[in-house]
Structure 1
Amino acid sequence: MTASCWDHAQPFVLDVQVEPAMIDHYQHVNNAEYLRWIEQVSWAHSESLGLSFADYQRLDRAMVVQRHEIDYLAAAFEDETLSLATWIVACDRRFSLTRHFQLRRAADDKTLLRAQTHFACVALSSGRPRRMPEEMAKIYGAAVISL
């Protein structure tokens, strides 16, 4: 994939192979799969930054989805190789962060999906909104890209 086809610079990319179980009655990837991939690339990116679920447990915090916005631009099909990129585009270093996503098909570099997810910080122990610990704020804040 050519770097210039990404919406933003320095994407964190997860490659996805479309398996038969991901295909729905319409013979394309089921919408629920895209959400699974968004979750997978979000976790992989967080882990690459140094924040794993074990760190969330230690800090008694989690970034939970507050809102997904997904634009489905074209369908994906069985056996295709896709690349899903994510970027942290906002982090207030207190309660919220926002990620952008872009899904592209390897064969033709076509963008199949664009999405945005807003996350809120909560205490794992209670599920209530809580301020990000300094460690999370520092790591996520440093990962914010310029738009």
Structure 2
Amino acid sequence: MTEHTLNWMYDAPFIQHWHIDDTHIDHYKHVNNVAYLSQLEKLAWAHSNALGLQFADYQSLNRGMVIKRHELNYHLPAHLGDTLECATWIVQCDKRLTLTRQFQFICPERSKTVFDALTTFVCVSLDTGVPKRMPAQFIDAYHSACITTGDIAKP
């Protein structure tokens, strides 16, 4: 099954495959909550890198996008041996301080969404942690990748 046949929330997802191994499993024998958060971070960084922003750019600009809020929705358990299709989109970017990413993880074997999340990021100075306007490089990368301009649709 390809990403074109999966029921994505939005068109043109940025996708990575996540194979579930022993390190991701908790005592309930399904993927641990912390593993999902770790995968969100990896996916967001991979997407930022694909948009042309590396952590070295953040450092040279003395800016970073830090998490203000996570909204996590666990729909179905994922288990050892599953491979999930993990997607992200930038669904809001105000070109000043904030951007919002939508995430969706689908189990292709079941053709079901097992997890989705909405994360709001705030631009800060890396030196002080104080909110600061996005530099032009962030606006160029993130706003140009933003898929919506209005309200964020809820799944």
1:28 equivalent in alignment to 2:30: yes
Deviation at 1:139, TM superposition (A): 1.2
Unpaired segments ≥5 residues, structure 1: none
Unpaired segments ≥5 residues, structure 2: none
- Secondary structure at the residue paired with 2:104? strand
Which position in structure 2 is the counterpart of 1:3?
A: 4
- TM-score of the two chains, using structure 2 as the length reference: 0.92
Which position in structure 1 is the counterpart of 2:132?
A: 130
Count, aligned residues: 147
Deviation at 1:108, TM superposition (A): 2.1
- Secondary structure at the residue paired with 1:137? helix
Name the aligned partner's letter for residue 38 of structure 1. L
Q: Distance in 2 between matches of 1:19 and 1:2?
A: 22
1:63 equivalent in alignment to 2:65: yes
Q: Distance in 1 between matches of 2:130 and 2:121?
A: 13
- RMSD of Structure 2 on Structure 1 (CA): 1.1
- Within a 5 Å distance, the mapping from 1:43-54 to structure 2 comes to 43-54=45-56
Deviates more, 1:133-142 or 1:2-11: 2-11
- TM-score of the two chains, using structure 1 as the length reference: 0.97
Q: Distance in 2 between matches of 1:127 and 1:10?
A: 33
Q: Deviations over 1:84-136 (max 9, x none)?
A: 10000000011000000000012122100111000000011111110001111
Q: Deviations over 1:52-85 (max 9, x none)?
A: 1011001100000000001100000001111110
- Secondary structure at the residue paired with 2:15? strand
